[in-house]
């Protein structure tokens, strides 16, 4: 299954970024996960969900990650694609 792996840098922890990413991904029909990293970045993976998603959803998620929620200050977004086994049925926050 096509999978987008992403890393977001900047002021992205302590600003509701993970919950916002979860909500945004679900609205786009994507499943996967998001989590904080010790270096202050946020990482995650997204896959097309049972309710939709796909190339357009991946593109839109990357665009929205670059903006972030209102209190975030995104410095950069890195994204790559690979084929991976299906791993989540919904979009979750990992700790």
Q: From the candidates 18, 60, 94, 95, which is the catalytic residue?
A: 18
Burial of 56 (0-12, 13-18, 19+ CB in 10 A): exposed
Alpha carbon separation from 44 to 9, 91, 95 (Å, rounded):
12, 10, 11
Task: Specify whether 36 is catalytic.
Answer: yes
Which pLDDT does position 50 carry in this prediction?
A: 65
Name the residue range of residue 44's domain.
2-93
Q: How many domains does the chain have?
A: 1
| pTM exceeding 0.95 | no
What pLDDT digit, counting tens, does each position of 29-86 carry?
999 999 999 999 999 999 986 666 788 999 999 999 999 999 999 999 999 999 988 8
In the chain, which ranges are continuous DSSP H helix?
Answer: 17-27, 55-67
First to last CA, the chain: 24
Q: From the candidates 7, 11, 35, 36, which is the catalytic residue?
A: 36
Task: Specify whether 35 is catalytic.
Answer: no
The CATH number that applies at residue 44 is 3.30.70.100
């Amino acid at each position: 299954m096509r999978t987008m792996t992403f890393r977001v840098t900047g002021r992205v922890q302590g600003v509701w970024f993970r919950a916002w990413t979860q909500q945004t991904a679900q609205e786009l029909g994507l499943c996967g996960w998001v989590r904080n990293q010790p270096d202050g970045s946020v990482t995650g993976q997204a896959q097309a969900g049972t309710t939709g998603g796909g190339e357009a959803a991946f593109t839109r998620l990357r665009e929205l990650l670059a903006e972030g929620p209102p209190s975030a200050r995104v410095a950069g977004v890195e994204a790559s694609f690979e084929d991976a086994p299906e791993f989540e049925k919904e979009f979750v926050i990992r700790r």
